[in-house]
Amino acid sequence: MIKLKNIFGLCLLVGGYCSADSNSREYNVWYEKDAVLYDITQTSDGRPVMISISQAGFKTANMVISYLTEGSCPSESLPLLVNGEQIPSEYVCKQQGHEKLEHYVVRDAGRVNAMVQHLKSDFTLIVQKEIKVWAANINSPKYGIAPKF
């Protein structure tokens, strides 16, 4: 009887751990903390993309998009495309072995606020022709920064 209880307890513990692990990888859920909106979406090949938007709705709004892709950093900056339109941004690329970590920083508050309004109107943004940024719960984001990875 004791062994059965121990095995049952172990199954509950392992099952709870696995469930918590799978829940921690939710994508397309907006979070907000300290006037910063956060979202984690993914590239078409399933790599995570982190988006943070600070001070949405204000003249100081800005946005950072970061993701890891295969290949080498280009010698010239790559443009940021959102819904097929080139958005003025800073491009930073850091080599990480055979992959590159790409960052786009958008400082044009008018553009950032327009993108946030687009999302709040329940429309999707398409970044770099392949990354879908869903509106999801942007009108009522969860508290915090993001789920654990």
Asked whether residue 8 is assigned to any structural domain, the reply reads: no
Asked whether residue 64 is assigned to any structural domain, the reply reads: yes
Q: CA-based Rg of the chain, rounded to a whole angstrom?
A: 19
Residues 6 or more apart in contact with residue 48 via CB below 8 angstroms? 27, 40, 41, 42, 67, 68, 149
Asked whether residue 115 is assigned to any structural domain, the reply reads: yes
Mean pLDDT for 127-133 is 96
The domain in which residue 106 lies consists of 27-143
Distances (CA, A) of 105 to 16, 20, 29, 43: 38, 32, 21, 18
Q: What CATH number does residue 80 fall under?
A: 2.60.40
Asked whether residue 131 is assigned to any structural domain, the reply reads: yes
Asked whether residue 9 is assigned to any structural domain, the reply reads: no
Q: What is the pLDDT of residues 111-124, one digit of tens each?
A: 999 999 999 999 99
Asked whether residue 17 is assigned to any structural domain, the reply reads: no
pLDDT band of 145, cuts 50, 70, 90: confident
Higher pLDDT, 104 or 145: 104
User: Global pTM?
Assistant: 0.81
* Number of domains the chain is built from: 1
Asked whether residue 60 is assigned to any structural domain, the reply reads: yes
Asked if the model's pLDDT at residue 83 lies above 80, the reply is yes
What percent of the chain is modeled with pLDDT above 70?
Answer: 81
CA pair distance 49, 46, nearest whole angstrom = 9
Asked whether residue 105 is assigned to any structural domain, the reply reads: yes
